[in-house]
Amino acid sequence: MANKFRPGWGILPVALFLAAWEVGARLNIIPAQLFFPPFSAVIEEFYTLIVNGVLLDNFLRSLFRVLVGFSLGCLGGLLVGVLMGWKELINKALNPIISILYPIPALGWLPLLMLWIGINEMLPIAIIFICSFFPVCYNTVAGIKGVDKNLIQAARTLGASEFKILTSVVLPLAVPNIFTGLRLEAGMAWRVIIAAEMVAIPTGIGALLMRAESLIRIDIIIVCLMVLSMMCFTFERVFLYLEQRLTAKWR
């Protein structure tokens, strides 16, 4: 089980790192000074971007895309995964197709989707959908197949119908596996959305990053990276927390 994040001693290395950064930049001991603002300047810019609404606006756009695309992708992956894990016939039918599509990197779909969907809000959502659907589906199938057959037989002799076995025994026991998929993909969704926004979409954190680059605004770039780090981290932690809430009692 992953260790829980506890603020405390973990803060110390971060603080030392930031201090070194600040001092290094202020003392002018790093070459290419223009390209290296001190930490305090970055924080200042962070504040400005929040106040003038630029950061919030772009962040909310990215967040919205991630939430919608990720939710749909997970729901779809879960649904198809449950069907495949539970009904061997469906598994036999879909598994070959999924095995072919799964290895394609989500961003590889981008050019195709740009032409199919066009450059609009649906594009990033579709990319996120693809990026979350396959892994969640895959982990769900693995989770369901991994449930001890004896437990299913036991439920059967106790009078449970097939559907009841699925909801009361198989799914709860597949939760750890399913959540591993969700957790990994929650961070992945952020990585993918940024790339998509950098390449194809004029709004969102990724687009903001690219604009900052063309204006040589290192401070804005670093602000964006900080936001991304926080979001990936938060998403993964939320799923870790949910998983532990659901399974801590019996695992």
Residues contributing to the site for another protein (CB under 8 A): 148, 150-151, 153-161, 164, 168-169, 172-173, 247, 249-251
CB of 251 to another protein, least distance (A): 8
Is 222 in contact with 42 (CB distance < 8 Å)?
yes
Which of residues 165 and 222 has its CB atom nearest to another protein in the complex?
A: 165
Which of residues 127 and 147 has its CB atom nearest to another protein in the complex?
A: 147
CB of 138 to another protein, least distance (A): 22
Residue 233, by phi and psi: left (phi above 0), alpha (psi -120 to 50) or beta? Answer: alpha
CB of 148 to another protein, least distance (A): 7
Which of residues 9 and 250 has its CB atom nearest to another protein in the complex?
A: 250
Which of residues 151 and 215 has its CB atom nearest to another protein in the complex?
A: 151
30 CB neighbour count, 10 Å cutoff: 11
**Angle made by CA atoms 220, 224, 229, in degrees to the nearest 5:** 145
Residue 197, both tokens: 């926004």
CA dist 84 to 73, 95, 166, 182, 221, Å?
Answer: 16, 8, 12, 18, 43
Which of residues 7 and 159 has its CB atom nearest to another protein in the complex?
A: 159
CB of 155 to another protein, least distance (A): 7
CB of 151 to another protein, least distance (A): 5
CA dist 68 to 32, 123, 151, Å?
Answer: 41, 12, 36
CA dist 137 to 82, 126, 188, Å?
Answer: 8, 16, 15
